[in-house]
Amino acid sequence: MVELLIFATLLIVGLYFGRQAEQQHLKSLKWREQAVQHLGISVTGAKAEFPHAQEAQLFAGSVVISSDFFKTFIAGLLNLIGGEISTYESLLDRARREAVLRMEEAALAWGAHQVVNVRIQTAELGANSGQGIVAVEVIAYGTGLR
């Protein structure tokens, strides 16, 4: 009985601190996205012409974000039933937004006015480790023009 009480307490503490960290990261993303919103982003293919570009450089932004214990626990329970696991949607959204922001910030620091041919790739980390670690790596890359 004591073990169950300790487990429930740790689960609730994990939920609280996990939500706090997630909310703080979402606020940071929103603020930083507003700071780079003037930078043009395009997924146009490599054969498109850009006559205003005097220089071009490849920029990348990558991030690895791990799920908290509570989300991993809930996702494990939902996995028994099958279907959509919505507890990971915010994890993937935060990772994608952070990777794109890092790419944009690097391009702006270089002096780019536009980033073209933007691509995003993801990879799952720790899936087969047997330790229940759930992490996702997202890489965003594109060509900055100035």
Mutual orientation of helices 89-110 and 2-35 as an angle, nearest 10°? 30
> Which sequence spans correspond to the domains of the chain?
2-145
Which amino acid, residue 3? E
**Predicted TM-score (pTM) above 0.85:** no
C-alpha distances (whole Å) from 32 to each of 8, 17, 38, 56, 105 are: 36, 23, 12, 24, 9
Q: What is the pLDDT of residues 1-26, one digit of tens each?
A: 888 888 888 878 877 888 888 899 98
Spatial neighbors of 74 by CB under 8 A, at least 6 apart, are 87
Angle at 9 between CA 5 and CA 14, to 5 degrees: 150
Tokens representing 94? Answer: 């935060």
Closest C-alpha among 83, 94, 105 to residue 137: 94
Residue (of 117, 120, 87) closest to 101 by Cα position? 120
> What CATH superfamily classification does 2-145 receive?
Hypothetical protein apc22750. Chain B (3.30.110.70)
Q: What is the pLDDT of residues 117-126, one digit of tens each?
A: 999 999 887 6
